[in-house]
Amino acid sequence: MTSSAKTPTGKTSKGKVAIYIEKGRIKARLPRQYFGGKQPRPALGMEANEANMAKAQRIAERMTMDLEDGCFDETLVKYGIVSELEIKKGATTANDQLPPKPELSLLEVWDMFCEYKKKKLRESVYNNFFQGQYKSFLKSAIEATKSEDALKIRNWLVENRNQKTVKDLLSNLSKAYQLGMKSKLLSHNPYDGMAEEIGRVGARGKAQNEIETDNDTTDKSKAYTWDEVQIIFEYIQSTQNIAHWYNFIKFKFLTGCRTGEVVGLRWNDVKWDEEKVYIRFTYDRRTKKFYPLKNDRTYKGDEVRKFPMPKDGELWNLLKSIPQGEPSDVVFKSKRGTIIDDTAFRRAWMGNKKQKYKGIIPELISQGKLTKYLSPYNTRHTFINHAIHDLGIPEKIVCYMCGHKPDVSNKHYQDEAIFMKGINPEIPFSQQQFSEVQIDNQQSRIEALEAQNRELMEMVRKLQEQLEQMKYCLQCV
């Protein structure tokens, strides 16, 4: 059975797509003139019945129009006949069939994986990394190597990009190919095991970037001394064209907060009566949205950090010096009164050669007042080092204040929270009087819990005795 637009002689019109049935399935017969004299016969993926024949006829008419308009490749993809736009005129098999479906390209595999992950990721993570940095790395690698060979891609990434990010990217690429294999779209995973082979050292010859990582926060080489911090403060405050950055940068140094957390700080999170600053949001410049802090890398659950702000201390006075806005207003604003763009902040910090703008740190280095350049993120390292090494505050307490969780249990951090009440992050720990009292209070709570536990165990013991007696009585009866 054949159905198509026919001439008065009963033959299919030249240049038209015909449909016919073969072994109970509907197939299409494509015009020879578009395929070098050969006639491809793709299956339409439908059983032969009245409803499907009507549908197939409509598809054939659209295919004919697309052939005439020169956009037939898109039509084949649209109707699921092939999965790639690699149909070439005349490229048919020995059986007059279209070539087998080619495997997906690297970027198609990545886009498929991104679509799969989209609902599981925070919007900023999806946009900034999966569809942003990671995809940009892949495009650059493909362009540079003129290839999609997995080993060439991997080697180029390792040599030219930050290795921590490359390690994460290769790990996700392996997962992407595994997903393709599970969906029977791919036959193998060329990236299997590649991520495990990469160390954590940064790529050679790369400038330090502000990467959101807390590795080696106590490494003194990655921090300014507190004397150098004062030099930075004095320079900013005394230089007219950058003086508006003073409050923002000083807050970063005094708290160790990440840039997005400082940008996202609102007045309703400054608790004067509690003498604390609540750190609960981060601002993402790409999506221009506020996001709650997350308590681990799997993004499960929101976090609120309570940073000490002793009354009349340096942090207290800094915030008091800023005109207070509405509760929902951000605390730190740009020179124009808008939300701070961290790109503008980093330009002020590191300079811009094209604009012949030297930047805060390069200028101080040229004046001989600083000896090294550290990224804006290292204000965090600087605070942690100052609190631990200069003030003697226990590392675990400092890490708790900053929301930095090294390899210790969450239970440990809950215990450390006991010490947070009354702590002053601006004076030496040895001069603070709260510690012994709070340790005593903690010990009292532990002793009370132990006593309560003993009472409960005694109750359980008595209930077991009563149960044994009941069993004995029932046996006697």
- The arithmetic mean of pLDDT across residues 296-317, rounded, is 76
**pLDDT beyond 80 at 67:** no
Between residues 210 and 143, the one the model is more confident about:
143
Span 303-314, average pLDDT: 89
Residues in Cβ contact with 74 at an 8 Å cutoff, skipping those fewer than 6 apart: 66, 85
Report residue 414's pLDDT band, with 50, 70 and 90 as the boundaries.
very low
Edge-first strand order for the sheet with 281-284 is 281-284, 289-294, 302-303
Percent of the chain scored above 90 by pLDDT?
25
| pLDDT value of position 11 | 52
**In the predicted model, is pLDDT for residue 188 greater than 80?**
yes
pLDDT-derived band at 234 (thresholds 50, 70, 90) equals: very high
Asked whether this chain's domains 106-197 and 220-431 adopt the same fold, the reply is no
Report residue 73's pLDDT band, with 50, 70 and 90 as the boundaries. low
User: What band does 407 get if pLDDT is binned at 50, 70 and 90?
Assistant: very low
Q: Which residue has the higher pLDDT, 184 or 144?
A: 144
pLDDT at 302: 55
For residue 387 the two structure tokens come to 């609190």
283 contacts: CB under 8 Å, gap ≥ 6: 260, 263, 264, 289, 290, 291, 330, 339
Residue of higher predicted confidence among 297 and 389: 389
Ranking 63-67, 147-151, 282-286, 314-318 by mean pLDDT, the lowest is 63-67
Confidence band of 128 (pLDDT split at 50, 70, 90): confident
For residues 87 and 231, the model is more confident at 231
Per-chain mean pLDDT for the chain: 77
Q: 142-179: per-residue pLDDT in tens?
A: 988 888 888 889 888 888 887 788 888 999 999 999 88
pTM to 2 decimals? 0.54
Q: pLDDT confidence of 80, banded at 50, 70, 90? A: low
- Answer whether residue 434 shows pLDDT above 70: no
Checking if the pLDDT of 56 tops 70, the result is yes
Q: What's the rounded mean pLDDT across residues 389-415?
A: 67
**What does the pLDDT read at residue 35?**
65
- Tell me the pLDDT band of 371, cut-offs 50, 70 and 90: very high
Q: Which residue has the higher pLDDT, 7 or 304?
A: 304
For 27-54, what is each residue's pLDDT tens digit?
888 877 766 667 778 887 788 888 888 8
- Alpha carbon distance 264, 262 (integer Å): 5
pLDDT value of position 284: 85
1.10.10, 1.10.240, 1.10.150, 1.10.1660: which CATH number matches 106-197? 1.10.150
- The CATH class for the domain spanning 220-431 reads mainly alpha
What is the rounded average pLDDT of the residues 306-313?
92
Residue ranges of domains in the chain = 2-78, 106-197, 220-431
